[in-house]
Amino acid sequence: DHPISPVSAHFVQKVRMNIKFRPIAQELSALGEPLTFSIEIKNNDSNAVPQNSRLWILEDSLIFEDSVEVGAIQPYQSKRVRITVQTKGGITWRDIPDTYTYSLKSKTGQVLGSLRVQHRMRSFCGGLTKIQPPEGSEFINILICGFFGAGKSAFINTVLNMVSSSDNNVVHQEFVGGGAEHNTKEYTAIPIEGTKIRLFDTWGIDEKNYRDGELELIVSGLMPSGFDMDMNVRDHMTQMMKQQSTVSKRRPHAILFFVPFALLDDTNLTSVMKTQLDKIKNMQINSFVIVSRLDEAVPQLRSAPNNQFPEVEQYRQKAATALGVPLGLVRYSVPYTIEQTRSFQIERLSFGILNDAAAAAKARAKVSSKAAAPLGKKAFQWD
């Protein structure tokens, strides 16, 4: 058995020789591409690490075993090593193991020390950085919408943590515009670090709102970032209609529609959701339904979100039937809520949702206008 260490770990002692390892970085890569790692090896032993010693990364479901020469390390000295390994074909985000293993070996194959390291999901976001927006737009736009309290902002927060190069602590973002009943009260554009992808956070749907065509304005690209849910759409309609030449900058290329699992047992609220989702379908935007808060029904899901649980599949099927969408377009989300330490499994699940939405958005993206947009009475963001 090998001890587990996150990339941000401090030195961890091993046996055989008094060798300590400090993982430094795992460089950005896309699924199917080679992975490059950097690690510092410190010899805290009174004997030197032998000449011709090599650092190995052991084979697993993702990685082909490979090694790089380390050479001698004198007592109480350190050496930094960079190693690139090939990954196996046909791998999807679901196949990425939680950890990988370093092993420092002598020329004769004696293990001098080893360390099992937790992957960072950020390292597999290289494919997201390569997605380019259509001509005339700065971003690929993904709309996050759905019932209030469904965890839309929590999902966005999880994505922002996932792409962050910061340490192993979860940062819980405070999104602007929160309210007592709605965590989000303002239509907000949130760019994803290091990519050309932008998430639009919306206030949640309930039985009383979205009655003046707000959702259609959002999906058509007419509503600007910064619009508040308490504003009267009719007071700003003239201003919005003047922006028709620039709607391609704001129009979503894919939509994630969040539905709390408990709502699916309420016929009236499910009908409200279906009505709003049908509006999106009629506008022909690629959409995924995300069943949320399932860890309240299946507590084990929070610690093992990628495991298969019968209850999860039952609610996915219920959502597909109730909302009239193919089962293949129904996913589930387990975002960060109270976690203080980053979880590879939570981030892997969120990566899968974002990666699939980005692929759908890329397929949907079309050429948009380059015309500039004038400002109205309120300094909305028309970009």
d(CA 304, CA 286): 29
- pLDDT at position 329 is 96
d(CA 383, CA 137): 8
User: pLDDT per residue over 33-63, tens digit each?
Assistant: 999 999 999 999 999 999 999 999 999 999 9
- pLDDT at position 379 is 43
Beta bridge partners of 291: 259, 332
Please tell me the pTM assigned to this model: 0.83
3-state secondary structure the chain: CCCEECCCCCCEECCCCCEEEEEEEECCCCCCCCEEEEEEEEECCCCCECCCCEEEECCCCCECCEEEECCCECCCCEEEEEEEECECCCCCHHHCCCEEEEEEECCCCCEEEEEEEECCHHHHCHHHHCCCCCCCCCCEEEEEEEECCCCHHHHHHHHHHHHCCCCCECCCCCCCCCCCCCCCCECEEEECCCCCEEEEECCCECCCCCCCCHHHHHHHCCCCECCECCCCHHHHHHHHHCCHHHHHHHCCCEEEEEEEHHHHHCHHHHHHHHHHHHHHHHCCCEEEEEEECHHHCCCHHHHCCCCCCHHHHHHHHHHHHHHCCCHHHEEEECCCCCCCECCHHHHHHHHHHHHHHHHHHHHHCCCCCCCCCCCCCCCCECC
- pLDDT at position 323 is 94
| Amino acid type, 379 | A
- pLDDT at position 283 is 82
Q: How many CB atoms lie within 10 A of CB 381?
A: 15
Q: CB of 215 within 8 A of CB of 276?
A: yes
- pLDDT at position 103 is 95
- pLDDT at position 373 is 35
Beta bridge partners of 317: none
Number of residues assigned to the chain:
383
Q: CB of 118 within 8 A of CB of 85?
A: no
| Amino acid type, 13 | Q
Give the CA angle between residues 286, 289, 293 to the nearest 5°. Answer: 150
d(CA 192, CA 161): 10
Q: CB of 218 within 8 A of CB of 249?
A: no
Flag residues of the chain having pLDDT under 70: 1-15, 136, 173-185, 207, 210-213, 224-226, 228-237, 239-240, 242, 245, 366-383
Both tokens of residue 209? 């709102």
Nearest-CA neighbor of 341 among 200, 178, 190, 166? 166
